[in-house]
Amino acid sequence: MLSAKDVKHIASLSRIGIEDKEVEDYQKNLSTILDYFKELEEVNTDGIEPIGHITGRDNVSRGDLRVEKSELERNAILDNSPEKKDDYIKVKSVL
Amino acid sequence: MIKELHEKLIKGETTSVKLTEEYFEKIKNRDKEIQAYLTLTKDLAIKQANFIDEKIKKGDEIEILSGIPVAIKDNICIEGIRTTAASKILDNYIAPYDATVIKKLKEKGAVILGKTNMDEFAMGSSTENSAYQITKNPNDIERVPGGSSGGSAAAVAEDEAVWALGSDTGGSIRQPASFCGIVGLKPTYGRVSRHGLLAMASSLDQIGPLTKTVEDAAIVLSEIIGEDKKDATSAPSFDKRYENYLTGDISKIKIGIPKEYLEKGLDEDIKNKFQEAIQQFRKLGAEIKEISLPHSKYSLSTYYLIMPSEVSSNLARFDGIKYGLRVDDKESSGFKENGIPRTLFETYLDSREYGFGSEVKRRIMLGTYALSAGYYDAYYLKAQKVRALIKRDFEEAFREVDFIFSPTTPEVAFKIGEKTSDLLKMYLSDIFTIAANLSGVPGISFPIGKIKKDGKDLPIGGQLMGKWFDEEGILNAAHTFEINYSQPI
């Protein structure tokens, strides 16, 4: 079973805050599912290539070009951001 | 149904505005109980309906979907319309663009009634994971409509929309279609562009129709397929018209029955109805053959590794910065008393803790763990290898048979609340549908009968899976069954 420390570490990697009282629930639930995965160990996959793309399409590329957008289109995007300054999305300080 | 309405429109027996208003009236009367819709788009709908009516009046030709009311799952973007994916984290999100499928539908003149309820970010099998409301199954309102496209399925079953769009990552179109007694099609991976679909698990997601008849599913599919530069996985379509392949003749085809699907966990009543359906296919001239998909018992665990891994990556974008909910203001959120988060990291933690529901958080954490240093080979890579074996099973099966037939679900719609406390039990309702996503093949669920439970008639779905990009084959087989044996709702 995952330890409380494991769960807190995974939550932090996932950027999800958790309350102390939730830790035990996550320990139980995540461990149940992880245990279920163990059945995959019995499958012999020697020499099997992992699936990359299921219908075998190749990479599709496009030019890395700037596309001009109207003010209306710009605002539709900016208006969705929780905090903006002028025409920019405001990001909080990292440290 | 779509064809009949189309005829009525062009003959002037009704107008699109009239039809649209009738549907809003139905929604007004019935949706208080069913709760299929999250957002109604009446202004958009009436405007479109008026435009189509003008065209008809002028004697212009209209497209088959023109003027016909449709419901859209709330994880598909419509420009200027709130798009939540039934999550609090997108509570105030207004989509700045149209998904490719929406662009196509608008061009074809479809009338969009609104956005339907779903499990948050399409994660669930009952629509109980919505942050907003619990959708009821129209066949018995004490039961779930299935999920994650439960709102779309319930809206169509209750005739609160002529048809609907859903998305299917592990069964999310086919399972609710089966529970509600309608038709649901998951096309081949790559058949329909997902640009503008809120990504859940990108190697599995596919958009498809929920309809009242198989013919309707064929008509809709013809309108939404196509290669799209904005979805690199989408495949060329050659403008196929699927409804032209519905011959009603399956006399030379071979249908495989995977023996592993009938082994355990299958409800007796479903088993009986399924055997009956096999006999019916026989009577229609199909050859029935037992086949084996030896790795199918591993599909659920493979799926529950690959899907959360991709979920953890796809949902990293919800960070409280670019769009969606930000929680860092104790005044308005009432969240965490100990002060305002000051750093970016704290904002991430708080926004995602408050914005995501428990199933979503669980899957993000599970995927993060499976992809984290030291575990990648044992989990994700192993699962991708088993997935290759599952795909190989299908390749081998399709050398012997044209289609694979199974029940869509191991049991009928369950009661609301019945499985919320047992995760694995909930996950098991996708046991027959996820292999099609893992292998990429198309699958269709259609009604094969009903059973009585608690005095209510509950529908049972049958699933046909076909070869990659052979939607016309499974559509014709399901259509042939339907016109001979099903009583459409």
B-chain residues near A41 (CB < 8 A): 382
What is the pLDDT averaged over residues B101-109?
Answer: 98
pLDDT in tens, B354-363: 999 999 999 9
Instruction: Read off the pLDDT of each residue in B102-107 and give the average, rounded to a whole number.
Output: 98
Residue B183 region, left (φ>0) first, then alpha (ψ -120 to 50), else beta? beta
pLDDT value for B329: 58
Strands laid side by side in the B183-186 sheet: B37-40, B111-116, B69-73, B163-168, B206-211, B183-186, B443-453, B456-466, B403-407, B254-258, B287-291
Span B1-318+356-489: which CATH code? 3.90.1300.10
What value does the mean pLDDT take over residues B129-148? 98
- Please determine, for the modelled complex, whether the ipTM score is greater than 0.85: yes
At residue B327 the predicted structure's pLDDT band, cuts being 50, 70 and 90, is confident
Name chain A contacts of B466, Cβ cutoff 8 Å.
Answer: none
Mean pLDDT, residues B314-325? 95
Boundaries of every domain in chain A: 4-42
Q: What are phi and psi of B155, to 5 degrees?
A: -60, -40
Which positions of B are catalytic? 73, 148, 172
Task: Assess B420–A contact: CB distance below 8 Å, yes or no.
Answer: no
| Residue B331: predicted pLDDT | 47
pLDDT confidence tier of residue B346, bands split at 50, 70 and 90: confident
Of B97, B319, B385, which is closest to A50 when you measure between CB atoms? Answer: B385
Cβ of B305 within 8 Å of Cβ of A40? The answer is: yes
The residue type at B432? F
Q: 290-309 in B: which are within 8 Å (CB) of A?
A: 295, 297-298, 300-302, 304-305
Q: Note whether B229 contacts A: Cβ–Cβ < 8 A.
A: yes
Q: Vertex B3, ends B2 and B4: CA angle to 5°?
A: 90
Of A39, A83, A92, the CB nearest to B301: A39
Cβ contact (<8 Å) for A14 and B229? no
- Find the residue in A nearest to B378 (Cα): A41
pLDDT (0 to 100) of residue B336? 55
* Average pLDDT across chain B, whole number: 94
Whether omega before B313 lies within 30 degrees of 0, making that bond cis, reads no
What percent of chain B lies above the pLDDT cut of 90? 88
Whole-angstrom distance, CA of residue B128 vs CA of residue B421: 12
Phi first, then psi, for residue B107 (nearest 5°) are -60, -35
Which residues make Cβ contacts (< 8 Å) with residue B50, sequence separation at least 6? Answer: B16, B17
pLDDT score at B340: 66
Contact (CB<8Å) A26/B382: no
B233 touches chain A (CB under 8 A): yes
Q: What is the 3-state secondary structure (H, E, C) of A27-55?
A: HHHHHHHHHHHHHHHHCCCCCCCCCCCCC
Query: Band of the pLDDT at B337, cuts 50, 70, 90?
Result: low
Q: Which residues, at least 6 apart from B242, have a Cβ–Cβ distance to it below 8 Å?
A: B218, B219, B221, B222, B471, B472, B475
Can you name the residues that pair with B148 across neighbouring β-strands?
none
Report the residue of chain A nearest B468, measured CA to CA: A55
Judged against a pLDDT cut of 60, whether residue B406 lies above it is answered with yes
Chain B interface, best mutation among A1, A25, A33, A94, by max B CB count within 10 A: A33
Q: Confidence band (pLDDT; 50, 70, 90) for A55?
A: confident
Give, for B376, the enclosing helix (H) or strand (E). none
User: Nearest CB to A48: which of B321, B350, B385?
Assistant: B385
pLDDT surpasses 60 at A50: yes
Joined tokens for residue B341: 């988060």
pLDDT value of position B429 = 86
Confidence of residue A53 (pLDDT cuts 50, 70, 90): confident
A37·B368 Cβ contact <8 A = no
If DSSP codes are grouped into helix, strand and coil, which group holds residue B291? strand
Assign residue A78 a region: left if phi > 0, alpha if psi is -120 to 50, beta otherwise?
alpha
Tell me which chain A residues have a C-beta less than 8 angstroms from the C-beta of B344.
91-94
Of A14, A18, A92, Cβ closest to residue B343: A92
For B368, name the nearest residue in chain A, comparing CA atoms only. Answer: A14
B189 close to A (CB below 8 A)? yes
Distance from CA of A45 to the nearest CA of B (A): 6
Question: Which of B 318-357 lie inside 8 A of A, CB atoms?
Answer: 319-326, 328, 336, 341-345, 347-350, 352-353, 356
Torsion of CA B17, B18, B24, B26, to 10 degrees: -160
Question: What's the whole-number mean pLDDT along residues B238-243?
Answer: 93
**Beta-strand pair B163-168/B69-73:** parallel
pTM: 0.96
Q: Look at residues B83, B93, B94, B9 and name the one whose alpha carbon lies nearest to residue B53.
A: B9
Structure confidence at residue B328 (pLDDT) = 73
| Closest Cα in chain B, distance from residue A87 (Å) | 13
Q: Given a cut of 90, is residue B447 above it in pLDDT? A: yes
Domain ranges of chain B: 1-318+356-489
pLDDT category at B332 given cuts 50, 70, 90 is: very low
Q: Tell whether A34 is within 8 A of chain B (Cβ).
A: yes
Percent of chain B scoring above 70 in pLDDT: 97
Average pLDDT of the segment spanning B21-34: 98
CB of B88 within 8 Å of a chain A CB? The answer is no
